[in-house]
Structure 1
Amino acid sequence: MTDAIHHLIEQYGLIAVFLGCVAEGESAAILGGFFAHQHVFILWQAFLAAALGAFIGDTFFFTLGRSFADHPSVLRLKARPGFSHAYRLVSSHPNIFVLSNRYIYGMRLVGGIAAGFADITVTRFVILNAISSLVWAALFSTVGYVFGLGAERIVGQALARHERLLIALAIGLIVAILAWLVARSVARKERVKDARET
């Protein structure tokens, strides 16, 4: 069973890191770094998959906001909590917003849409998004790699391969739960703020 899981991660792990980073994927980037430490794949591969996923994800949402503003799906995203706040930020501080938006969990999706609605050129967005994606991927892949090193030192060299995989999956689950709780808290605060403003 664990050999089959290990084989699947070797075969499709980088694709999973890429797809996870297209969405709100800190946990995917961290797991990529962790598996790189476990020699399932090479660190630069995990970094590249995370950076490409992050870049393509944000560019996709920017394009939706810019070119498909009247589409029902975009209008639903525009109605989500946090959009009005994201739009104000990107309108007043476009460079800072594009560089930092992906670090605010729960704002990345609406932030990309808001950037598409804002008065920011495509070239400017692409350059800033590329810089932000590279820094973000390096940061979270390194966190995963360093955590793997720390876990190995704490638990010792006696860990079997399948135990490492289970630890990595547990880390991913913990990060995802913490990120969900933070996103829920931010969304609640945004709803309260939007209600006060209207």
Structure 2
Amino acid sequence: MISHFIVSYGYLAVFAGTLLEGETILIAAGFAAHRGLLDWPLVALTATIGGALGDQLFFALGRWKGDVLIQRFPALTKHRLRVHDLLERHSVLVILIVRFLYGLRIAGPLLLGSSRVPVLRFVVLNLIGAALWAIAVSGAGYVFGLALSALINDLKRVEEIVLVAILAAGGLTWFKRKTRK
């Protein structure tokens, strides 16, 4: 049942999931690609497009209404000056790695948009960072599938359980993080 859903809607789920956060769905998609349910290069491409587009939208929102939005969230206000200082010194590195920092997939581009980072620089580096992120995270799911198949002879028998476990672990991590705040 889950396998059929993944084959039918997997790329759409990867795109939608990577617009916001996406790590859990991307690890699951990498595992599904290892199992032959999805095509790994297409998973990485879809995630690159979704991740870059999502970050671009939040960057634009930060450019348009960044000051107003940042003032509404004290945690963002607290980190704004530090992020802007880092951007002045290491803008290329910050833009490339912000998506790898858990919890900053939305706040990061919003803060970047509120800075003086040139739009074209952000667009180019955002696309490169999204591609690196998509390959690394979906690749981790793919390698997880390889490792699991080396440990379990009949992985086909439990692949749906593994997929549910990956998604549940991601959901529990998200829930724990949200309730802790």
Report the TM-score range of the alignment, normalised by the length of the smaller protein. Answer: 0.7 to 0.9
What amino acid sits opposite 1:164 in the alignment? E
**Which whole-Å CA distance do the structure 1 matches of 2:67 and 2:20 have between them?**
22
**How many residues matched?**
178
Please list, as runs of the form range in 1=range in 2, the aligned pairs for 1:44-193 lying within 5 A after superposition: 44-69=41-66, 75-76=71-72, 79-81=74-76, 83-84=79-80, 85-157=82-154, 159-160=156-157, 163-178=158-173
Which residue of structure 2 lines up, in the alignment, with residue 35 of structure 1?
32
Contact 2:67 2:114 in 1 (8 A): no
Q: SS at the partner of 1:156?
A: coil
**CA contact under 8 A between 1:66 and 1:117: conserved in structure 2?**
yes
Q: In the alignment, does 2:33 pair up with 1:16? A: no
Conserved 8 A contact 1:83-1:110: no
Q: Is the 8 A contact 1:30 1:144 kept in 2?
A: yes
SS at match of 1:119: coil
Quick one: which amino acid aligns to residue 76 of structure 1?
R
Could you give the per-residue CA deviations for residues 23-75 of structure 1, whole angstroms, max 9, x where no partner exists? 1111121111111111111111111111111101110110001123366x565
Cα 1:28–1:156 change in 2 (3 A) is same
Identify unmatched segments of 5+ residues in structure 1: 189-198
Within 1, Cα distance between the matches of 2:90 and 2:138?
Answer: 28
Alpha-carbon distance in 1 for matches of 2:30, 2:151: 18
TM score, norm. by length of structure 1: 0.79
* 2-structure distance, mates of 1:144, 1:152: 12
CA distance in 1, matches of 2:71, 2:57: 15
Identity across aligned pairs (percent)? 31
Unaligned regions of 5+ residues in structure 2, if any?
A: none
1:26 equivalent to 2:26? Answer no
Alignment RMSD: 2.4
State the alpha-carbon separation in 2 of the partners of residues 139 and 145 from structure 1: 10
3-state DSSP class of the match of 2:21?
coil
Task: Name whichever of 94-103 and 82-91 sits farther off.
Answer: 82-91
